[in-house]
Amino acid sequence: MTILLKNKHTLQIDEFKFRCCIGEKGSTRNKQEGDKKTPRGTFEIENLYFRKDRKEKPPTLLKCIEIKNNMGWCDDIRFPKKYNKLFIIEKKIRHEKLKRKDCKYDFLIPIKYNFKKPITGLGSCIFIHITKNYKPTAGCIALKEKDFLIMLRLIKKNSKIKIF
């Protein structure tokens, strides 16, 4: 099964179409760290990370991982061994904190862009996550929670996302 990001406002899975938002500056084949663009291409997806203190584990075929206080995703180009990987937060390393005050990361799925052998500076922390207002992201894809939960019922561990 493939999740299709057809344009900057539409995510499609089979006959289901969901409103979404993407990077503030659109999509690109030449992603760079901090460029506020969503990478184009076809990518695998990772596990579902969720806030157990706020949300119940949703019905999904994805592996579900509870977000802990000390979990971060490295976006610091000075640390190539940790770049674009989940890690235990260290103050000296720049990162996305997964346990946020807002609801954006109550549910999130990392997109396996620049993932297996990440190249520093080509972009990190590309997630599918929650939005309340469809404001453009820093490069992620965001859906309303109700649509995210429907999506979770449709996708599988081997699902891919194709971003146009």
Mean pLDDT over 10-39 rounds to: 97
Q: Is residue 44 part of a domain?
A: yes
Q: Is residue 42 part of a domain?
A: yes
Q: Is residue 89 part of a domain?
A: no
| Tens digits of residue pLDDT in 104-119 | 999 999 999 999 999 9
Q: Is residue 70 part of a domain?
A: no
| Structural domain that includes position 152 | 2-64+102-163
CATH code: domain of residue 45: 2.40.440.10
Mean pLDDT over 131-156 rounds to: 98
Model confidence at 6: pLDDT above 90: no
What pLDDT, on a 0 to 100 scale, did the predictor assign at position 92? 97
Q: Is residue 91 part of a domain?
A: no
Q: Is residue 34 part of a domain?
A: yes
pLDDT-based confidence at residue 1 (cuts at 50, 70, 90): confident
Counting the structural domains of the chain, the total is 1
Return d(Cα 133, Cα 153) in angstroms, integer.
Answer: 23
